[in-house]
Structure 1
């Protein structure tokens, strides 16, 4: 069945539209057109500086720069809204290959959760493949259940600036975790309000330290 579907509806590169492997997002040639952030855990960067204005941050890195109408936007959109959860693994591979992340004393990896209703509608959390691959390659354990999203809401991109600030008590910590260095992962960093809300809950509930990894940052 999969072979028939591949023949009838072949996967095409989000950049040039050439036919590519079903698990890929872009062809090898178009990878060079992606605006990679080229951040490193060993150097301070603008994302890290922005995070530190909102909450205590050990390190913060991004894989890509989020360019509207660019390849990074198309890749994230396919991952989140078009059922292409496997793209998360591709992004994780790029993260590992570019060596932007080090263990840096990190104890556990977790990600921003979806509300259960939103995850049921979408069928998956777009961050899970990404987290699992990063965990496998770095040998750092992960948890998909460390945080819970308390409210069902519109996607952050659809909210006006006033509503974006209304995120108090958006998350709660589900598991006892104390004095750990947590790598918190999200897809796109925009205002930082969502990731800040999650980070503060982890900090307050257990005196934990937080580092950040995002697939893309929108400056």
Structure 2
């Protein structure tokens, strides 16, 4: 049996489905169907000036950011929530890499990323990493790196303490929860460079702020942040 015929046969028995809406994918579609690709709630914040970016305002007076970016708006019971659930709890790592690559290509098209030197995912503690088997932020970083043509590393930032879930915590409580749990394990990797720190979801920004401060304290020339999705205030 020819490989293409075998592929069609497997698709017939085990149809590939869109990770967002669970409908069958057509030939040529990967991970997301065309309908979801066009209907996902994109933020388009990369098209705005920093002073007009509502996400950037969350960090004003706290830590200087070059870019504050997020690909999608998080809407409860919507496609984005389903995608993130697939990524974090159903072992669908390709959600992160696919969205990262799509977003990276979008950013590159608009001239963003040409001054970035290194992408760093927010690390998981080793206990949570062992339980989940992978870091969802690593997958997003990997996809972004491919789309932007910028290197990434999961070894530079380290999480030293296991923290309780951030869910249901206020901004102050979230900051207290993560303020001293991160460290830059390889300062030479960030010194004098523009670093992009990435995570899956931006809510209050406390985790990204804590990482950004550590990166700047280690000698980075500039820091930016990007996430798959952002929760609206």
| TM-score of Structure 1 vs Structure 2, range by shorter chain | 0.7 to 0.9
Instruction: Report the equivalent of 1:36.
Output: 42
Q: Within 5 Å, which residues of 2 pair with 1:1-219? A: 10-20=15-25, 24-40=30-46, 43-44=49-50, 45-99=53-107, 102-157=112-167, 159-161=168-170, 163-166=173-176, 167-176=178-187, 177-219=190-232
Q: Using the TM superposition, give the Cα deviation of residue 41 of structure 1 relative to its aligned residue in structure 2, in angstroms.
A: 6.4
Residues 7 and 133 (structure 1), Cα distance of their counterparts in 2 relative to 1, 3 Å cut: same
Q: Using the TM superposition, give the Cα deviation of residue 14 of structure 1 relative to its aligned residue in structure 2, in angstroms.
A: 4.7
Residues 215 and 12 (structure 1), Cα distance of their counterparts in 2 relative to 1, 3 Å cut: same
Residues 41 and 111 (structure 1), Cα distance of their counterparts in 2 relative to 1, 3 Å cut: farther
Report if the CA contact (8 A) 1:41-1:61 is conserved.
no
Q: Using the TM superposition, give the Cα deviation of residue 212 of structure 1 relative to its aligned residue in structure 2, in angstroms.
A: 1.1
Q: Using the TM superposition, give the Cα deviation of residue 91 of structure 1 relative to its aligned residue in structure 2, in angstroms.
A: 0.3
Residues 156 and 9 (structure 1), Cα distance of their counterparts in 2 relative to 1, 3 Å cut: farther
CA shift digits 1:147-182 (9 cap, x unpaired): 11122233322x432642322212011002322110
Query: Which is worse superposed, 68-77 or 127-136?
Result: 127-136
**Structure 1 length normalisation: TM-score?**
0.86
Greater Rg over alpha carbons, structure: 2
Superposition RMSD on alpha carbons, in Å?
2.7
Q: Using the TM superposition, give the Cα deviation of residue 31 of structure 1 relative to its aligned residue in structure 2, in angstroms.
A: 2.1
Aligned length: 217
Listed as ranges, the gaps of 5+ residues in structure 1 are: none
Larger proportion of helix: 2
**Structure 2 length normalisation: TM-score?**
0.82
Q: Using the TM superposition, give the Cα deviation of residue 8 of structure 1 relative to its aligned residue in structure 2, in angstroms.
A: 6.3
